[in-house]
Amino acid sequence: MLFWTALSLALSLRLALSRSGVESSATASAPQGDLLFLLDSSASVSHYEFSRVREFVGQLVSAMPFGPGAVRASLVHVGSRPHTEFTFDQYSSGQAVQDAVRVASQRMGDTNTGLALAYAKEQLFAEAAGARLGVPKVLVWVTDGGSSDPVGPPMQDLKDLGVTVFIVSTGRGNLLELSAAASAPAEKHLHFVDVDDLHIIAPELRSSITDAMQPQQLRASEILSNGFRLSWPPLLTEDSGYYVLELVPSDKLSAARRQQLPGNATSWIWTDLNPDTDYEVALLPESNVHPLRPQYVRVRTLQEEVGPERIVISHTRPRSLRVSWAPALGPDSALGYHIQLGPLPCGSLQRVEVPAGHNSTTIQGLTPGTVYLVTVTAAFRSGRERALSAKACTASGERTRATQSVRPQARPPEP
């Protein structure tokens, strides 16, 4: 009882200090971590583009502290087969890393990014490649947006192991796929930029990378509307103590939650949380061997993933119609929409992509006097989708501008 009372007092003090602008956690020290650059070196990238990417990587590492107790970097090429340009323990200074990047040669071949990601996973955790135990792992993938093999599964394997993934796409690529591949939230970890403008994002990206590499720091990642992942460096061993995690919602609408973990744990996933809510998280290492300071972090869950509630069919013509839906989700909650339309009872399907912030589109190339099934699907950063369907009929002859509000056929949300 005394322990939990002390813990509650500590959390209350932390909340009061944070509200007054004072942080009770340890002052951020120099970044420490293994930083792996994954560069698209295939034939889909021009020699000019590759040269600009090399300059960009050199900019990123120019102001980072390198050394055995700081940052170490490795570079892997994406091609027909992955190729290591240099390992983590090969260079111990920023200038040496810049020089090695500057002379890196393009490999050409196919864009087998999935294969390279599986290889990167080995490199990030292999002592033979100079990887270190217990330091943050960061992957920076620079791509032209395309891949010859699947990217999702091997990228998820990396994120499940606690790797922070930044993606820089030089203007092409599928927004939904790349957003799902990057660490959450996507707006912080995914950048679309022209190859000639890479220098513009270099300072912001460098700052985000160093933030992800702060040692002895409790960090949150994979933040969703109903949960997030916590990770921390190994502070204890299985025999030297244990951890206590406490989660306290700042709005006090639900009770605090506690979890005890063994000393060899380095991550935990909180689930079943409230959307759009601030949470105060405390990590308390308990050890009789040596005292360790508590660590704190504040995390805000994303807005609730609310799918379309009503579909409206308007401007029905013999070969086109307009589809609208409500509510119109903002860019903070949905990545975009898929509109799928097919004639009943069967026939070929037509698919249209609509970006976030829009709630209507016109479908062209239809058959007169035909009943269609229209499905509107909202896609979210978490990878989940919410869908709703309704029937619509094109005009058989004369055009009409009458608007018909269609009672939708509800489809259960996909898990």
**Domain segments of the chain as ranges:** 33-211, 218-300, 310-410
Lowest-confidence segment of 16-30, 42-56, 316-330, 334-348 by average pLDDT = 16-30
Secondary element (H or E) of residue 101 = helix 94-102
Q: What is the pTM of this model?
A: 0.55
Range 136-163 average pLDDT: 87
How sure is the predictor about 383, in pLDDT bands with cuts at 50, 70 and 90? low
Neighbours of 273 (CB within 10 A): 19
Between CA 210 and CA 135 the distance in angstroms is 12
Res 110 pLDDT > 70:
yes
Res 391 pLDDT > 60:
yes
Q: What is the pLDDT of residue 112?
A: 92
Lowest-confidence segment of 15-24, 41-50, 91-100, 398-407 by average pLDDT = 15-24
Give the burial class of 163: count Cβ atoms within 10 A of its Cβ; 0-12 exposed, 13-18 middle, 19 or more buried. buried
In degrees and rounded to multiples of 5, residue 32 shows phi and psi of -140, 125
Q: What is the pLDDT of residue 135?
A: 82
Range 119-148 average pLDDT: 88
Q: Which CATH architecture has domain 33-211?
A: 3-Layer(aba) Sandwich (3.40)
Q: What is the pLDDT of residue 411?
A: 53
Lowest-confidence segment of 54-68, 223-237, 242-256, 298-312 by average pLDDT = 298-312
The CATH number assigned to the domain with range 218-300 reads: 2.60.40.10
What is the dihedral sign for C-alpha 212, 217, 221, 225?
Answer: negative
From the list 89, 120, 106, the residue with the least C-alpha distance to 45 is: 106
In sequence order, the β-bridge partners of residue 399 are none
Range 253-269 average pLDDT: 90
Q: Greater confidence, 280 or 174?
A: 280
Res 260 pLDDT > 90:
yes
Neighbours of 33 (CB within 10 A): 23
Q: Give Cα separations from 227 to 31, 190, 336 (angstroms).
A: 27, 20, 21
Cβ atoms of residues 66 and 94 within 8 Å: yes
Q: What is the pLDDT of residue 38?
A: 95
Which CATH fold would you assign to the domain 310-410? Immunoglobulin-like (2.60.40)
% residues pLDDT > 90 (the chain): 42
Asked whether this chain's domains 218-300 and 310-410 adopt the same fold, the reply is yes
